[in-house]
Structures are given as structure tokens and as C-alpha cells.
Amino acid sequence: MTATWERCIRLKEPLKTRPFLIFAGLAALGLLLGAYRELTGLGYVTGLNDGYSWGLFKNWNVTALTALGSGGYAVAVLAWIFNEKRFHPIMRTAVLTSLLGYGTGMLALGFDVGRPWNFVWLADPRTWNHYSVLWEVAVCMTAYFILALDVENMPPFLEKMYRSGDPTKKEKAMKIFRFMQRTFPFGIALAFTLPSMHQSSLGQLMYLAGPRVHPLWQTPLLGLLYLLMAYILGFACVLLVLALSSYAWNLGWDADIMQRLGQIMAWAITVWLVVRYADLAYRGALGYIFAFNKFSIYFLIEEALIIVPTLLLFSKANRESPAALFRLTFLICVGGLVYRFTPTTLAFSPLGDYHYFPSTFEILMSIGFTALAVAVFLYAVKTYAILPASQGKIAAEEAMRPFDTL
Amino acid sequence: MDVNRREVLKVLMGGSAVAAVAAAGAPVATAGDSQEFALDPEAVGLMYDATKCIGCRACMPACQNANGLKPDVGGSGGLYMQPDTLNAHTKNLIKLYTAPDGSERSFMKQQCMHCVDPACVSGCPMKALHKEPKGVVGWDPVLCIGCRYCQVACPFNIPKFEWDTVNPKIVKCELCRHIVGKTVSQPACTQVCPTHAVVYGKRSDLLAEAKRRIKEKPGYYFEDRVYGENEVGGTQCLVLSHVDYTNLGLPKLSNESPAAKSRQVSDFVYRGFLTPVVVYGGIVAIVRKRWKEHLEHEGGDTTHGEEKRA
């Protein structure tokens, strides 16, 4: 089972397997319901109301799940800035999960806004409210998606073009490759700067709500905490996707890469916890922890899901066991998502008598967006050289140099 | 490995040095900022004195007529029912508070407070919500994308959304800005109020009048205080009542605007967009170096696997 992942390979498996069809079906259902939502008002199909006007789409699919989509950003920081070269073979998997996380998040946002036709005014800088944190998120996320994520995900497509057998396509692919070779560092730097901005802004959004968010979560440092959590969840997502892929398609287990990822994640959580509790202490909010009202229960669940597996991750034996590493990372992932979700919904109290629980329609749409990401992932790894494999496994469609180990 | 970490730290420290220099220049920018969000001396608003309100609710249909809002009939099939809170049909609502022990009662006029530095305007990504001349908080249907961040941000939970249509609008009091100064001289609610419990005017005049009433009857109004004078940096609609304002649905809020606090954090982090530029430059420098190493290691020209192996 142990392996050393060195190159990316395309899986030579039929696409239309049962899991693919299930995910594709759920995605189609979600999109169909989305189309229906566009023909009715939001109120008919969702549980949203004037008190809780943001629900599953924004708070779960965007605020929480794009943190999972930060894998490309988080692993790139390790590979490029801290020069941990061992992570290069998993970069393609990481940037693909990012593309899908952000893509489906932005799709959810598109279905959530009530007057999407007015997005055209974003083209006119006079309408920009640059004081608006939400404007920053919208523009910065779009820029990241178009300028950085698409470019980072180019090499597998170009390889396919190159090997298509058509000489004009081959020539074109080479041209783009040469251009990318010159401009690549500028793109990578953008892929660092932009997510740093919007992942923190996603937290800062709720700061404007002031006293409506419970003091266990409301802090001027929301942005920093959300940003750190984006790193943690980014690592977690890449680790879980690789573990599941390795199990499903027998890719072997690169213990060096995986345990190191787990170790870095544990340290990142430690930093997050220091900031979290120092902030709570500084604001004098520690007392709320043991109030044993619903907020204190949410807090304790969230912290237990994060702290307990992190402590266990500091043991090397746990990190070297694929099963233990997978389970601990999964728990951290759940805890981290709970943290990113809570300030927007569970710890949010509008004035007056309002309650929110997502409608079945809303839940099916939200699941559909995630299913779409999974279905596209399955398609991509069977069409392009994405997943890492050891040298021995490499077949004719070995990835292109010098982009093969990115 | 160590060498690399040191390099990274060096670049990051270089960045913070630039940021520190920028911080020194920041007060200039902040001064302009506070100017932009300060109280307009010509700002207008309402003063609602709950002790003068008789609860006739004449202001409610007047508001709906002036603003083209249909009566809120809920699911009754046409029978008008007083809603329990503001909604997409109701910009203005008179409520009655009775203490559980029956010891005190007060009416309350629920509507947009027209903050001096409003959270909704600060949060609105497209300037759909904006400050009109004289400080009225207006909404522009041409710019609104329907994101509903205003609803999340408003400390008074005022902006309402039309949930039952494909062309939804944000509904909130705009002080009848579409008719005031054109066909009428004041908003519909103040026009019809029989006891002048709610009056329209310049905020400075209204505040002076509110304070005069408090001075005239010391101990009569709650805490001898005008709600809205200082709350969230001041509101242009002011409320006077003899009962605790929190019982009327007016929350206890700090005197600092959440919008101003949010801008402070952003200004601190971004330094007039200098921070992202510095970080970007630093990262480009590091990655270019790594990329060069990578190309040397993997073969500089774009060759592909087959050729290399052959």
C-alpha cells in the first residue's frame, strides 16, 4: 500500500459507474429545482424570511463550503512559499477541488440573489461600494475564479490538447504552455493574495451585524479566524479527497505526504485555537462558554470536534495510520465547517420572533450543488491526469513537463 | 529548509514595514472618511413622541397610499389584518406595549431609523442603498442585486424583502422622498397625525425640541434620554417614550456605528489597498525564484514526457 506519489495520472476507468450516475442525478435535480426557483419567489421554495434572510445557499454553500475549496490555496502556500517540494504531486488534485468548491459556491450565490440581472452593473465602477465587505467578496472571488483557478487548472486540459493528434491543436497547446511558463509565478501569487482577501472577508461580513451575532463568535478578528480556518479546511479537504481516491482507485498511500499534511493541519489548528481563545479572553467573553444555553452548547460541540482530533493528530502513530488519519481529519472538517457556519445562522439573532429551518427544496438544491462538484471531479480524474501516482504506475499519458509536478 | 523560512519572514517583514509607513499616512485618509459619513447639517428626520400618540394608526394607511403599497391581507383573501411586524407591505407600523403587570403602556412607531452612518448603506455592494441629500436612506431598484446583506446588517431589523415575487424589491421607509419637496412638504405619516405625535423636520431642530420636552418634564421620559441621539452613531429618526426603549423593540446599542467599526477593521488591514499590493509583490518575488529552480530541475524548455524519456 505504501507508495511515493510523483506524477499525476489519468484513471483508465469507465465514467458511467453507479456512484457517478447517482451524483450526476442529484446534481441534475438540484439544477432543475434551481431553474424552478428562478420562476417563483424565494419565499415559496426556501425557509428564508425577513429575520433570517441568509440561509443554506449563502451560509453553507458559500461561507462554509468555499473554505473546503481553499485546498488549492493552502497547499500552494506549502509547496511554493515554504518550498515543501513533496506537495507538488498533489497540487493538481488540490486546485481541482478548489475550482469545484468555488464554482459550486458561486452557482449557489447566483440562485440566492433576488435580482441577479443587476449584476451587469458590476461592469460600471461608479456603482462599486468599496466599503462593502460583500462587494469585496463578490469581486475578489470572481477574480480568483477567472484569473487564478482557471489558469492553475489549465495544464491537464493543455496536455489533452497536445496529445489529441491534431497538429494545429498541438501547436496551439505549445503556444499557451510557453506563455504560461513565463507568467506562472504572477498567477500563483494572485492565487495567494486573492483568497487571503476574500476568505477573511467572508468572516468580516458578519462583523457588520454587530450585536446580532453572539459574543462567543462576534469579534473584530472574525476575518483572521475565518482565514485560518480556510487553511485548515483546505488541508482537510485535500487530505480527505486523496484518502478516498486512494481507497477507491488503489493509488497507494504516500505516508510522507499524508502524515505531513496532517501534522501541518494540527499546527494550523493550534494557531487558530490560540487566536480564538486569546480573543475570547481579551473581550471577556469566556464566561459565556459555560452558560449552558444553546449558544454555549453550539460552542462546546464545535470546539470538541476541533480540539479532540487535533490532540490525537499530534501522535505520529495516528498520522501514519491511514484509517486514523482519515477519521480524525473528518472530525476536524465537520468541526471547522460548524465554526464557519455558526456565526451566520446558529449564533445570529435578529430582533423579533423569527425562525429558520431550510425547506426540503432548499436542502435538495444545496445537496445538488455539492453533488455537481463530486460528479465533475469523477469526470475530471477519468479524463485528465489529475490524481497522484507512484512512478511505477505512470502510463503513456504522463503529464507535461514542466507542469507535470505542479 | 531553514534558509527558505528565513527568506519568507524577510519578505513578510518587508511588507509590514511598508504597511507601517502607510499607517503613518493613514490619519489623512481617515479624516476624509469621517467627513463622508458624518451628520449632514441639513439632515432631516422624524421625531416620534410615544406619550402623545393615541394609537389611531392613521399614519399606516396614509403611508401605504403614499407609497403604493397594497394592504397586507395575508392569506385571508382580501381582509386587511394588522401585521405583527414590518413586512413587504408595511413600511410603518404602530405597536402597543403593555407591561406584563399592566403598570405601564406605550405606543411605538416601528420604521426605518435613517441612521447617520447606516450599516445597510455600508454593506450594500452596489450603492443601491445610499444616503440621499439631507441624509435620507434611499433604495435604488436599478442597482439592487437582491443579496439581502442590508437585512443581515441592520441593527433594527428594518429592511424587508418581497419573498413572493421574481422581481423582489427591498421595502423600507424612505421618508416619502419621491413626493416630499415636489407635491407635498412632509411625509404622509406626519401629514395625517392628529396629535403631532410624529413630526417631520431638520434633525437638529427635532433634537432640540425633544430635549426641551425632557427638560420641561424631568423624570417623565425614560432615562431623560432621546433614543437615536447617540445610538449607532446617531439616527435621524428620534424616539421619546416614558417606558424602557428595549420594551418597544429598540435594542440597547453602543454609540459607535457598526459601519464605522467595520470600516476601521478594513482600513487597518488594507491600508488603502497597499497591503494586498505589498503581499502580491512579495509572493511574486518568492515564487519566481522557486519557479526558476523548478525549471532548472525539470528541464527549462517546455518538453513533454515522451521526448524526455526517449
**Cα–Cα distance between B147 and A110 in angstroms, integer?**
10
Q: How far is B184 from chain A (nearest CA, A)?
A: 30
Residue A200 grid cell: 477573511
**Cα–Cα distance between A291 and A277 in angstroms, integer?**
16
Query: Is B304 strand, coil or helix?
Result: coil
Please name the residues between 66 and 105 in chain A that touch chain B, using a CB distance below 8 Å: 80-83
Asked if the Cβ–Cβ distance from A50 to B143 is below 8 Å, we say no
CA angle, B306 as apex, B301 and B310 as ends, to 5°? 100
For residues B123 and B149, the answer to whether their CB atoms sit within 8 Å is: yes
The CB density around residue B177, as the number of other CB atoms within 10 Å, is 18
Nearest CA in chain B to A134: B125
Question: Greatest CA separation found in chain A?
Answer: 70
How, if at all, do strands B198-202 and B170-171 pair? unpaired
Section B62-75 average pLDDT: 90
Q: Are residues B220 and B292 in the same domain?
A: no
Matching residue, cell 488541508: A235
Suggest the residue from B93, B110, B121, B265 to mutate for an interface test with chain A (most A CBs closer than 10 A): B265
pLDDT tens digits for range A268-309: 999 999 999 999 999 999 999 999 999 999 999 999 999 999
Of A53, A132, A402, the CB nearest to B298: A402
Q: Are residues B112 and B220 in the same domain?
A: yes
Nearest CA in chain A to B297: A402
Nearest CA in chain A to B292: A185
pTM of the predicted protein model: 0.91
**Cα–Cα distance between A217 and A196 in angstroms, integer?**
20
Residue B191 grid cell: 401629514
Q: Are residues B49 and B179 in the same domain?
A: yes
Asked if the Cβ–Cβ distance from B5 to A82 is below 8 Å, we say yes
B47's enclosing H/E stretch is strand B44-49
Please check whether residue A401 lies inside any domain of the structure.
no
Asked if the Cβ–Cβ distance from A185 to B153 is below 8 Å, we say no
pLDDT value of position A163: 82
A335's enclosing H/E stretch is helix A322-341
pLDDT tens digits for range A321-361: 999 999 999 999 999 999 999 999 999 999 889 999 999 99
Domain of residue B204: give its range: 43-256
The CB density around residue B75, as the number of other CB atoms within 10 Å, is 6
**Cα–Cα distance between A34 and A31 in angstroms, integer?**
5
What's the distance, CA B306 to chain centroid? Answer: 61
State which amino acid sits at residue B241: S
Please check whether residue B310 lies inside any domain of the structure.
no
Q: In what order do the strands lie in the sheet with B44-49?
A: B198-202, B44-49, B238-240
Listed as ranges, residues in chain A with pLDDT below 50 are 396, 405-406
Phi-psi region at B164: left, alpha or beta (left = phi > 0; alpha = psi -120 to 50): alpha
For residues B163 and A48, the answer to whether their CB atoms sit within 8 Å is: yes
The answer to whether A391 contacts chain B (CB < 8 Å) is no
Residue B211 grid cell: 430635549
CB proximity list for A172: less than 8 A, separation 6 or greater = A161
Please check whether residue A336 lies inside any domain of the structure.
yes
Per-residue confidence band for B99, with pLDDT thresholds at 50, 70 and 90: very high
Asked if the Cβ–Cβ distance from B283 to A197 is below 8 Å, we say no
For residues B188 and B59, the answer to whether their CB atoms sit within 8 Å is: yes
Q: How far is B138 from chain A (nearest CA, A)?
A: 15
Domain of residue A351: give its range: 5-393
State which amino acid sits at residue B249: G
Please check whether residue A289 lies inside any domain of the structure.
yes
Residue B299 vs residue A106, higher pLDDT: A106
Q: Which residues of B touch A127 (CB under 8 A)?
A: 126-127, 143
Residue A312 grid cell: 490525537
Q: Are residues B156 and B282 in the same domain?
A: no
Q: Are residues B147 and B288 in the same domain?
A: no
pLDDT value of position A327: 97
The answer to whether A311 contacts chain B (CB < 8 Å) is no
Asked if the Cβ–Cβ distance from B123 to A132 is below 8 Å, we say yes
Q: Are residues B81 and B222 in the same domain?
A: yes
Asked if the Cβ–Cβ distance from A207 to B1 is below 8 Å, we say no
Please check whether residue A404 lies inside any domain of the structure.
no
Asked if the Cβ–Cβ distance from B168 to A115 is below 8 Å, we say yes
* A-B C-beta contacts closer than 8 Å: 218
A388's enclosing H/E stretch is strand A387-390
The answer to whether B74 contacts chain A (CB < 8 Å) is no
**Cα–Cα distance between A190 and B283 in angstroms, integer?**
9
The answer to whether B212 contacts chain A (CB < 8 Å) is no
Query: Is B290 strand, coil or helix?
Result: helix
Q: Are residues B203 and B291 in the same domain?
A: no
Please name the residues between 86 and 105 in chain B that touch chain A, using a CB distance below 8 Å: 86-88
Please check whether residue B111 lies inside any domain of the structure.
yes
**Cα–Cα distance between B291 and A292 in angstroms, integer?**
53
pLDDT value of position B300: 45
Q: What is the DSSP letter of A402?
A: T
Please name the residues between 131 and 170 in chain B that touch chain A, using a CB distance below 8 Å: 141-149, 151-153, 155-157, 160-168
Suggest the residue from B266, B278, B309 to mutate for an interface test with chain A (most A CBs closer than 10 A): B266
Asked if the Cβ–Cβ distance from B276 to A135 is below 8 Å, we say no
Matching residue, cell 488534485: A93
Matching residue, cell 439592487: B144
**Cα–Cα distance between A283 and A264 in angstroms, integer?**
29
Q: Which residues of B touch A39 (CB under 8 A)?
A: 166
**Cα–Cα distance between A43 and A202 in angstroms, integer?**
25
The answer to whether A349 contacts chain B (CB < 8 Å) is no
The answer to whether B255 contacts chain A (CB < 8 Å) is no
Per-residue confidence band for B29, with pLDDT thresholds at 50, 70 and 90: very low
Q: Which residues of A touch B160 (CB under 8 A)?
A: 50
- Please give, one letter per residue, the 3-state secondary structure of B92-160: CEEEEEECCCCCCEEEEEECCCCECCCHHHHHCCCCCEEECHHHCEEECCCCCCCCCHHHHHCCCCCCE
**Cα–Cα distance between A20 and A32 in angstroms, integer?**
18
- Counted domains in chain B: 2
Nearest CA in chain A to B36: A131
pLDDT at B303 over 80: no
A104's enclosing H/E stretch is helix A91-112
pLDDT value of position A394: 58
Please name the residues between 101 and 140 in chain A that touch chain B, using a CB distance below 8 Å: 112-116, 118-119, 121-122, 127-129, 131-135, 138
The answer to whether A168 contacts chain B (CB < 8 Å) is no
Q: Which residues of B touch A131 (CB under 8 A)?
A: 122, 259, 263, 266
Q: How far is A18 from chain B (nearest CA, A)?
A: 34
Q: Are residues B281 and B161 in the same domain?
A: no
Q: Are residues B215 and B282 in the same domain?
A: no
Mean pLDDT value across chain B:
87
pLDDT at B257 over 90: yes
Sequential DSSP letters for A257-273? HHHHHHHHHHHHHHHHH
Q: What is the ipTM of this complex?
A: 0.92
Nearest CA in chain B to A43: B163
Q: Are residues B175 and B99 in the same domain?
A: yes
pLDDT tens digits for range B152-183: 999 999 999 999 999 999 999 999 999 999 99
The answer to whether A330 contacts chain B (CB < 8 Å) is no
Please check whether residue B304 lies inside any domain of the structure.
no
Bridge partner residues of A342 (DSSP): none
For residues B157 and B142, the answer to whether their CB atoms sit within 8 Å is: no
Of B142, B145, B162, the CB nearest to A119: B145
Asked if the Cβ–Cβ distance from B249 to A208 is below 8 Å, we say no
Please check whether residue B252 lies inside any domain of the structure.
yes
**Cα–Cα distance between B198 and B53 in angstroms, integer?**
8
Q: Are residues B18 and B86 in the same domain?
A: no
Nearest CA in chain A to B158: A50
pLDDT value of position A398: 56
Q: Which residues of B touch A112 (CB under 8 A)?
A: 147
Cα atoms in the 13 Å half-sphere on the side-chain side of B67: 25
Please check whether residue A405 lies inside any domain of the structure.
no
Q: Are residues B87 and B134 in the same domain?
A: yes
Asked if the Cβ–Cβ distance from A131 to B122 is below 8 Å, we say yes
Matching residue, cell 441568509: A54
pLDDT tens digits for range B104-158: 999 999 999 999 999 999 999 999 999 999 999 999 999 999 999 999 999 999 9
Q: What is the DSSP letter of A145?
A: I
A280's enclosing H/E stretch is helix A255-282
Does the N-terminal peptide bond of residue A402 adopt cis geometry, omega within 30 degrees of 0?
yes
pLDDT at B21 over 70: no
Please check whether residue B112 lies inside any domain of the structure.
yes
For residues B253 and B155, the answer to whether their CB atoms sit within 8 Å is: yes
pLDDT value of position B306: 40
Q: Which residues of B touch A43 (CB under 8 A)?
A: 163-164
- Counted domains in chain A: 1
